[in-house]
Structure 1
Amino acid sequence: MSELDYYEILEISKDADSNTIKKAFRKLALKYHPDRNQGNLEAERKFKEINEAYQCLGDEEKRKIYDRYGKAGLGSSSGFRGFEDFSDIFESFFGDGFSRSTKKRVDNYVLDVEINLRVDFKDAVFGTQKELKYKIKKPCKTCDGNGGKKNTCKTCGGSGKFTQTRGFMSFVSTCPHCNGIGEIIVEKCKKCSGLGYEEEEICFKFDVPKGVDNGMKIRISQKGNLSKSGEYGDLYVNITVKEDDKFIRHGDDVYIEIPIFVTQAMLGENILIPTLRGEKNLKLHIGTKDKEQFILENEGIENIRTKEIGKLIAQISIKMPTKLNDEQIKMIQNLQESFGVKTNEIAETSLFEKIKGWFK
């Protein structure tokens, strides 16, 4: 079975801009949302496909990888979220009234923290150590994280939930006045201005694992924000890998273009080619063709999970001379005639038969 095309799923062209992608997602997500198609398994399947397609095409970096290598280039670690977490995306378009479940807030901020980390290609391949510097939220010591003096929210009666009716459907969402907390600050804390938290800068050394790929998200336990109860959230590091000027990554395999002179292809020479781990010898065969690929096993990238090493695929690019002096022209004419082809000979059937014989 052929894999589904993300552009076809969202019913857009491959040159669609970000606004077009968002509009297509909004239209289809509304159409196939489970709340409008209860018990319809086909609609649920479509909803999941729309989710996956938008998470790829709606992300500029993931879209570049997908356009170049297809779904395989994203790998199993592409960071796509599951069906239950799709509510986060949907809320950003329609508000949380369409969410499948109301997210519980801890204090007045979420505990998990996300930061972005950009690493060089070679560092992603072999691993490296990076210093991470970011800020976390901690309960304000002056007001114990309350933000000041509070009263029960009159809008939701302290429940933190709010019921909305849209047409024939009713939705329970987070109360817009108290943000789901159930209380309203009536007198703000002077230290934190009613926020309920203060910020602290965190700095530590982080070991980037070998084999990490573009778009991966790495979780570091208990390095996030601190709650009033003393619970730390997690830190999520979003990885972006810089492109290399020689190598192109596709999963655990690496591609490289090897330019050679036409005579090297004809003679089948031994050549040295660059690999991730230094130069390696590559034996060409007589009559090597342009764009022909040579595979070097275990010269690719170590898989971050299985530890298996991918392949290096060396693709040949034959370079032809664009200028010849008289002596070179004469030498090549002599070579040509040695194969039984005369200069300026008309391309007849007999000539094609001769040429075919060279490659047998």
Structure 2
Amino acid sequence: MSKKDYYDVLGVSKSASKDELKKAYRKLAMKYHPDRNPDDSQAAEKFKELSEAYEILSDDQKRQTYDNFGHEGVNSSFSSSQGAADAFSDIFGDIFSDIFGGSSGGRASSRGADLSYNLEVSLEEAVFGKSLNIEIPSKERCNGLWNRCSYCGGAGVIRQQQGFFSMQQTCPHCRGEGEIHDKNCSKCNGSGFLSNNKKLSVKIPAGVDDGDRIRLSGEGELGRGGNRGDLYISINVKEHSIFERDGRHLYCEVPLDFVDAALGGSIEVPTLVGKAKIKIPSGTQSHKIFRLNGKGIKPLRGGSVGDILVRVIVEVPVNLNTQQKNLLNKFKENMSHENNSPLMSSWLNSAKAFFKNL
């Protein structure tokens, strides 16, 4: 019996595009698939005919041979029921991939693992940003001799047809590579991979904070037929000698001479871009906080620039000589707790009341 024209089998014209072929085959294959038509030998034969036609016409080289020489030119191109399974699996690969999270045909591939790297930066580098060079361990595929895996035929997968579905698993011999490296390779000692160090330039964006992560796409481990994984840079901001950071604000403590605290004046305090002056009112007490607006950090994700909060610590003089002690004693004689030391006066009154009630 002569075979039916492949274009007629799929119900398309001889000028049909690949998309038109795919659409026609999808519709008819779903209709005549044996699992949907149990005990129907005609449907099974029709499905085989459809798969044969699609496999030939979807391949540019086979299609050209068929157009030139007809069925005789492609008789050896399609053989056994495996061809039908392959064609059906390929055309519905996108569906099965969505359902099962894997590919229905072709070599197995897996994305490389992600890597992590802890990068220590200074506060200034975190605030203003900077490009830094790092060096990470890396594996590259050895360019020595690779032989086609005889177990899976180079596909990287072992496929089984189970009713309506074409199931597959990664080849246990080549682990999805489709190739097996020469065990006697002197370059990699048969492992298939070469270990080395890779240098990378990491751009630290201005405003990053301790614990933030920077993702470098494609700089992770080598995949098996798939893309490389990613490299995640974890930022570790070193302790600063002067400032402590809290989000967009900076804090620091500055010693204040007790005379300046009493009489008032101005002092210079540090910022990340230089010095700034703070006016000290007379009678300033220890631990009073002064705010320098807009001298802090511009947040990485937007927002207003933070402030610097300066806590003054009034320093009591030590190692006094005789003359200094005499001057302070004269000063003390002229002191009035009520007028000059309101905190002391309040505390003394509370203490007297407390002891009186004992």
Q: Aligning the two structures, in what range does the TM-score lie when normalised by the shorter sequence?
A: 0.5 to 0.7
Q: Distance in 1 between matches of 2:149 and 2:291?
A: 62
Q: Distance in 1 between matches of 2:172 and 2:324?
A: 88
1:274 to 263, 270, 275: 270
| 1:113 maps to 2:115 | yes
| 1:223 maps to 2:219 | yes
Instruction: Compute the displacement of 1:116 (Å).
Output: 1.8
Q: Distance in 2 between matches of 1:147 and 1:138?
A: 24
Q: Distance in 2 between matches of 1:182 and 1:305?
A: 44
- The alignment of Structure 1 onto Structure 2 pairs a total of residues equal to 223
Structure 1 match to 2:208: 212
Residue aligned with 1:313, SS: strand
TM-score by length of 1: 0.52
Instruction: Compute the displacement of 1:320 (Å).
Output: 0.4
For the 8 Å contact 1:114–1:237, the answer to whether it is kept is: yes
Q: Distance in 2 between matches of 1:328 and 1:272?
A: 26
Listed one character per residue, the Cα deviations across residues 254-294 of structure 1 (whole Å, up to 9, x for unaligned) are: 11110111111111111111111111111111111111110
Q: Distance in 1 between matches of 2:311 and 2:148?
A: 60
When residues 353 and 265 of structure 1 are mapped into structure 2, their CA distance, relative to the original with a 3 A threshold, is closer
Deviation larger for 274-283 or 213-222? 213-222
Structure 2 match to 1:317: 313
When residues 197 and 354 of structure 1 are mapped into structure 2, their CA distance, relative to the original with a 3 A threshold, is closer
2:283 to 284, 287, 312: 287
When residues 198 and 107 of structure 1 are mapped into structure 2, their CA distance, relative to the original with a 3 A threshold, is farther
Q: Distance in 2 between matches of 1:236 and 1:219?
A: 5
Instruction: Compute the displacement of 1:109 (Å).
Output: 6.5
1:333 to 329, 335, 356: 329
Instruction: Compute the displacement of 1:316 (Å).
Output: 0.7
Amino acid corresponding to residue 202 of structure 1 in structure 2: K
Q: Distance in 2 between matches of 1:147 and 1:112?
A: 31
When residues 144 and 238 of structure 1 are mapped into structure 2, their CA distance, relative to the original with a 3 A threshold, is farther
Instruction: Compute the displacement of 1:303 (Å).
Output: 0.8
For the 8 Å contact 2:252–2:311, the answer to whether it is kept is: yes
For the 8 Å contact 1:121–1:244, the answer to whether it is kept is: yes
Q: Distance in 2 between matches of 1:145 and 1:268?
A: 85
When residues 186 and 222 of structure 1 are mapped into structure 2, their CA distance, relative to the original with a 3 A threshold, is closer
Amino acid corresponding to residue 119 of structure 2 in structure 1: L
When residues 332 and 236 of structure 1 are mapped into structure 2, their CA distance, relative to the original with a 3 A threshold, is same
Structure 2 match to 1:264: 260
2:126 to 124, 127, 130: 124
Amino acid corresponding to residue 254 of structure 1 in structure 2: L
| 1:133 maps to 2:135 | yes
Instruction: Compute the displacement of 1:114 (Å).
Output: 1.8
Instruction: Compute the displacement of 1:358 (Å).
Output: 9.9
When residues 146 and 200 of structure 1 are mapped into structure 2, their CA distance, relative to the original with a 3 A threshold, is farther
When residues 190 and 324 of structure 1 are mapped into structure 2, their CA distance, relative to the original with a 3 A threshold, is same
Q: Distance in 2 between matches of 1:250 and 1:222?
A: 33
Bigger helix fraction: 2
For the 8 Å contact 2:111–2:224, the answer to whether it is kept is: no
For the 8 Å contact 2:251–2:310, the answer to whether it is kept is: yes
Structure 2 match to 1:355: 341
Amino acid corresponding to residue 276 of structure 1 in structure 2: L
For the 8 Å contact 1:302–1:308, the answer to whether it is kept is: yes
When residues 358 and 228 of structure 1 are mapped into structure 2, their CA distance, relative to the original with a 3 A threshold, is closer
Listed one character per residue, the Cα deviations across residues 64-92 of structure 1 (whole Å, up to 9, x for unaligned) are: xxxxxxxxxxxxxxxxxxxxxxxxxxxxx
Deviation larger for 181-190 or 198-207? 181-190
For the 8 Å contact 2:112–2:227, the answer to whether it is kept is: no
How many percent of aligned residue pairs carry the same amino acid? 27
Listed one character per residue, the Cα deviations across residues 13-67 of structure 1 (whole Å, up to 9, x for unaligned) are: xxxxxxxxxxxxxxxxxxxxxxxxxxxxxxxxxxxxxxxxxxxxxxxxxxxxxxx
TM-score by length of 2: 0.52
Structure 2 match to 1:233: 229
Instruction: Compute the displacement of 1:308 (Å).
Output: 2.8
Q: Distance in 2 between matches of 1:306 and 1:221?
A: 24
Instruction: Compute the displacement of 1:197 (Å).
Output: 4.6
Q: Which runs of 5+ in 1 are unaligned?
A: 1-101, 158-180, 342-350
Q: Distance in 1 between matches of 2:148 and 2:245?
A: 47
When residues 309 and 195 of structure 1 are mapped into structure 2, their CA distance, relative to the original with a 3 A threshold, is farther
Instruction: Compute the displacement of 1:144 (Å).
Output: 8.3
When residues 267 and 232 of structure 1 are mapped into structure 2, their CA distance, relative to the original with a 3 A threshold, is same
Deviation larger for 234-243 or 328-337? 328-337
Q: Which runs of 5+ in 2 are unaligned?
A: 1-99, 103-107, 163-167, 183-187, 346-358
